[in-house]
Amino acid sequence: MKLVAYIRVSTAGQVSDGYGLSVQEKAVRAWAKAHGHRIVKVIREEGVSGAKEAVDRPGLSEALLMVQEKTVEGLLIPRLDRLARSITVQEATLMYVWRHGGKVFAADSGDLADDPDDPYRTAMREMAGVFAGLERRMIVKRMRDGRAAKAAAGRKAVGAYAYGTHGQGEGRDRDAAPNPAEARTVARILELRTAGDSYRRIAEQLDAEGLKPRRAAKWSAMVVRSICQKNGAA
């Protein structure tokens, strides 16, 4: 049987958590070979949440279109939570494939089709979807709790780090720390402001001295003003 394989990670962190894209691809290729199927294409989707519907996932949409157009006879995934982390998305996607005459296989559990003689089969698949959704929500809650704990401890919890600082540390211990190169530029900005220079004049002087902003090619008066305000030199 000709199959399209779909593999997915939602965050960069999953690349190193033991179930990254390379591990998933190895699993689907091994399963297909062991069961006499041929993988026509492996579609890799990185940085995409499993809670999103297929229409919001270019990779999954491509895989489903291949089934619809009969380019392949079925969809192969490494395990069910790679297809979806929402029971509604999971079941809607499976039904779409089945409605177009395709099969859906998971490398860890085989054919995912309903069996009228085994209602527990469907129930177990649906329960797996429920718990995948629960795990996703628990991860979100832990992240939210972690940000709240950091904020309560006076550490930076969300958003970009202010110019002159950068992130340092790992996980909940990560916080803003001085960025030596940018800190020197901030000191120069404050020096010029204390001397009475306007924001525009400071921006021009920084450009002339070759001191660079974080992203833009040149300094603007508004960015200089923001840095002065954050450092009590407005």
- Say what the pTM is: 0.58
User: 38 - beta bridge partners?
Assistant: 2
SS3 of residue 34 by DSSP? helix
Looking at the structure, do residues 127 and 184 belong to the same domain, yes or no?
no
Distance of CA 65 to the CA centre of its chain: 24
Looking at the structure, do residues 14 and 101 belong to the same domain, yes or no?
yes
Per-residue DSSP letter, 161: P
Is it the case that residue 217 has pLDDT exceeding 80? yes
Is it the case that residue 11 has pLDDT exceeding 70? no
**Residue pLDDT, tens place only, 164-184:** 888 776 656 666 788 888 889
Q: Which amino acid is at 228?
A: C
Asked if residue 44 is part of any domain, the answer here is yes
**Residue pLDDT, tens place only, 98-157:** 999 999 999 998 998 877 777 777 777 778 767 777 776 786 677 677 666 655 655 555
- CA dihedral in degrees (17, 23, 31, 104; nearest 10)? 70
User: 165 - beta bridge partners?
Assistant: 178
Looking at the structure, do residues 182 and 121 belong to the same domain, yes or no?
no
Predicted local distance difference test score (pLDDT) of residue 16 = 42
CATH number at residue 130: 3.40.50.1390
Asked if residue 152 is part of any domain, the answer here is no
Looking at the structure, do residues 107 and 183 belong to the same domain, yes or no?
no
Q: Which residue has the higher pLDDT, 77 or 156?
A: 77
The size of the chain, in residues, is 234
Lowest mean pLDDT among 59-73, 120-134, 182-196: 120-134
Sign of CA dihedral 88, 101, 67, 9: positive
Last residue of a domain, one of 82, 103, 134: 134
